[in-house]
Amino acid sequence: MTDFHRPTSAKYRLYRTFAGFLTALMLLFQHQSISQNNSPASQFGPVQLQSYKVSGSFGELRSNHFHSGIDLKTNEQTGLPVLAAAAGYISRVKVSNIGYGKALYITHPDGIVTVYAHLEDFAMPQILDTVAAIQFQKQENETELFFTTPLFQVNSGQIIGWSGNSGGSEGPHLHFETRHQVSEMPFDPALIGYSYQDTIHPSFRNLVIYTPGPGNGTFLAERNLIPTDTSNSNQIIPETIKVNSNYFVGFEAFDRAGSEPNLLGIKEYRLFTNDILTFEYKIDSFLFDQSRLINSLIDYPFWADSSRRILLCKTLPGNVLPFIKSTPNQNAYPAKGKIKHRLEIKDAKGNTSELNFEVVITEIAKPIMHLKNMRIQKPGLSDRIVGNKAELVVTDKSLTEEIALQVIEHSIDSAGFISPVIEIASPGSFAVIQPMKLTIKPAKKTTIPADKWTIARLDSSGSIKYIGGKMNPDLSITGNIRTPGKFVIIADTVAPVLMDAISERIVRFGGMEKVRIVVETKGDFSGINTYSCVLDGKWIPASSNPAGTKFEIITQVPESPGSHELKVVVKDACGNEATKNYQLFY
């Protein structure tokens, strides 16, 4: 039988020729269209054929992280050519079901690395063959390769991949990044010339005046949201705002680059108090391990309740982001009279909007106490709360501000529970940077093997969510948690369910005809942990969506139609395994 697992067919050789032809055309295109001066920015060319339409800006606030590049639209299509930004060599290749999906990293002579993520596939035959060889050798679907020598060199404008929707992408696009080679810090691609058309000013949606909570921050704070005119880039709030003496300021804003519906991030903002600069934020670069500190820059309790982000003009104690400057000046806050404020916000193109307002202190702040029976937790300090069947460890890097919580042990109230219900209770939401560690001990004997046990979270709606955890020698389980709630040990003994398989012929980039096989699973409680696909007796790589509910195999078209046997084996995070054999005809 013809081996159509490896890319050796005549059609594949034709595809290589086609890709080479396109590369030559693009080199000519770039030579004619890019300025030939010697500035650093001129060394970097376009990474797409079409003009840039941006759907995500550098530093944009995302769920629990700063956006580390720019997202370029691909007209909701996959399979468009992706071009090398400049000459260099491929230093890293990654194939993953999460995160960046299929990604290429190119190191350039000037110490800059460019990253191309969420690809549908790689275009260079040498990369395709190398990745396939490693996958087949190790029989691993996901792989990551590093090259410290220029084994795979690329030219500026060369086609290196095809745009896609792989990994954690929520729609077809190209994620493009620029990094410093040594530190691996991502930086704004605009700094080396990657720009896009944008003449629209960012917009204020709400001004927010805070009366702090017990810890002088956002935890249990009172908020006064004052709507603003989103169409006005230079506005004044006419009424004087009454405030408490320990007030601080935040705002809600958004930006657009054009008529596109997607919103972009605020690049920088500044707060002036009586014409004195008292707070400044500007993001040009950051370390990846700082990314979760986004939750110390925003009003996290408000976001947790509303999914809306308010940017703070206040540095919380746990906020160690280096690109924030807080310069409180006592002369800026007079004891009596009106206080004048000016907020400035800028987008990545330098378009600026301004909001002017005045406040007057009408009440002297009084100390606010935390609720009784609560354990006060402060950022920078660790704590260990030990109970009968539970232990909670809060690290010195867990919190962004002072909060209060308590650990409550409830009796077992379900036959399926192996431990008491452990409640981490708090009167408000709070951000957790480094996870808290919760250890729960079993409270009853069970015949269910311990390797099926896991920590689960009980939602207010009654649903149960998998948390996971590590089994300890005394059969207790330790898991990472980032939110208050109710937690319990349960067992997952139900194997995943494999659904029917579908095979079809598709035409991919370059006109190559392929066979796509898709297998879906029903939602599994602990989630798919590993999977393996064997086609006609040979292991074959497959990709999965981040949730592990759909597997996709792309393989060669056989020389003649026929029947093929597919065997799929999946295992969830608690070790429950399912196997299904399929008979496919294509």
Task: Give the C-alpha separation, 72 to 115, whole Å.
Answer: 13
Q: Do 75 and 24 sit in the same domain of this protein?
A: yes
pLDDT tens for each residue of 85-96: 999 999 999 999
Q: Do 43 and 108 sit in the same domain of this protein?
A: yes
pLDDT tens for each residue of 340-358: 999 999 998 899 999 999 9
Task: Give the C-alpha separation, 475 to 503, whole Å.
Answer: 45
Q: Do 255 and 395 sit in the same domain of this protein?
A: no
**CATH of residue 469:** 2.60.220.30
273 part of a folded domain? yes
Indicate if the pLDDT at residue 6 is higher than 50.
no
Q: Select from 504, 514, 498 the least CA-distant residue to 581.
A: 498
**Of 439, 468, 491, which residue constitutes the final position of a domain?**
491
Q: Select from 156, 155, 154, 194 the least CA-distant residue to 174.
A: 194
**Contact status, residue 293 vs residue 320, Cβ threshold 8 Å:** yes
pLDDT category of residue 328 using cuts at 50, 70 and 90: low
**Contact status, residue 397 vs residue 352, Cβ threshold 8 Å:** no
Burial class from Cβ neighbours inside 10 Å (0-12, 13-18, 19+) for residue 421 reads buried
**CATH of residue 297:** 2.70.50
Residue 460 identity: S
**Contact status, residue 570 vs residue 577, Cβ threshold 8 Å:** yes
Burial class from Cβ neighbours inside 10 Å (0-12, 13-18, 19+) for residue 20 reads middle
pLDDT tens for each residue of 196-217: 888 899 999 999 999 999 999 9
Residue 266 phi, psi (nearest 5) = -90, 125
**Of 168, 192, 216, which residue constitutes the final position of a domain?**
192
pLDDT category of residue 259 using cuts at 50, 70 and 90: confident
Q: Do 94 and 160 sit in the same domain of this protein?
A: yes
5 part of a folded domain? no
Task: Note down the domain range covering 507.
Answer: 498-585
Mark out the alpha helices in 34-159 (DSSP H runs).
Answer: 125-138
**Contact status, residue 10 vs residue 137, Cβ threshold 8 Å:** no
Reported in sequence order, the residue ranges of 255-316 that DSSP labels E, i.e. its strands, are 268-273, 276-282, 311-312
Structure tokens that stand for 59 in this block? 């530093």
Task: Give the C-alpha separation, 296 to 309, whole Å.
Answer: 11
- pTM, to two decimals: 0.89
Indicate if the pLDDT at residue 465 is higher than 80.
yes
Percentages helix, strand, coil for the chain, rounded to the nearest 5?
10, 40, 45
Task: Give the C-alpha separation, 315 to 85, whole Å.
Answer: 37
Task: Give the C-alpha separation, 324 to 316, whole Å.
Answer: 11
Give the pairing of strands 88-95 and 143-146.
antiparallel
**Of 159, 192, 225, which residue constitutes the final position of a domain?**
192
197 part of a folded domain? no
For 375, the enclosing helix (H) or strand (E) is strand 375-377
Cβ-count burial 133-152 (b if 16+ within 10 Å, e if not): ebbeeeeebebeeeeeeeeb
Q: Which residues contact 117 (CB under 8 A, 6 or more apart)?
A: 69, 100, 101, 102, 103, 167, 174, 175, 176, 177
**CATH of residue 109:** 2.70.70.10
Q: What is the pLDDT of residue 239?
A: 96
4 part of a folded domain? no
**Contact status, residue 455 vs residue 477, Cβ threshold 8 Å:** yes
3 part of a folded domain? no
Opening angle at CA 393, ends 387 and 396, nearest 5: 150
Q: What is the pLDDT of residue 368?
A: 87
Q: What is the pLDDT of residue 318?
A: 95
Q: What is the pLDDT of residue 335?
A: 64
168 part of a folded domain? yes
pLDDT tens for each residue of 124-168: 999 999 999 999 999 999 999 999 889 999 999 999 999 999 999
pLDDT tens for each residue of 221-253: 999 999 999 999 999 999 999 999 999 999 999
Structure tokens that stand for 26 in this block? 């693009």
Structure tokens that stand for 169 in this block? 């992408």
474 part of a folded domain? yes
Q: Do 184 and 274 sit in the same domain of this protein?
A: no
Indicate if the pLDDT at residue 48 is higher than 80.
yes
Number of domains composing the chain: 4
Reported in sequence order, the residue ranges of 201-337 that DSSP labels E, i.e. its strands, are 203-211, 222-227, 234-236, 241-244, 248-254, 268-273, 276-282, 311-312, 324-326
- Which DSSP letter does residue 191 get? G
Across the range 512-533, mean pLDDT stands at: 93
Q: Do 94 and 38 sit in the same domain of this protein?
A: yes
pLDDT category of residue 367 using cuts at 50, 70 and 90: confident
Q: Do 436 and 458 sit in the same domain of this protein?
A: yes
Across the range 286-296, mean pLDDT stands at: 95
Across the range 174-185, mean pLDDT stands at: 96
**CATH of residue 519:** 2.60.40
pLDDT tens for each residue of 526-550: 999 999 999 999 999 999 998 889 9
Q: Do 459 and 510 sit in the same domain of this protein?
A: no
**Which residues are registered as beta bridge partners of 211?**
222
Task: Give the C-alpha separation, 143 to 130, whole Å.
Answer: 11
20 part of a folded domain? yes
Q: Do 62 and 168 sit in the same domain of this protein?
A: yes
Sheet of strand 563-572: strand arrangement = 538-540, 528-535, 563-572, 577-585
Q: Select from 395, 437, 443, 452 the least CA-distant residue to 420.
A: 443
- Which DSSP letter does residue 27 get? H
Q: Which residues contact 169 (CB under 8 A, 6 or more apart)?
A: 101, 118, 175
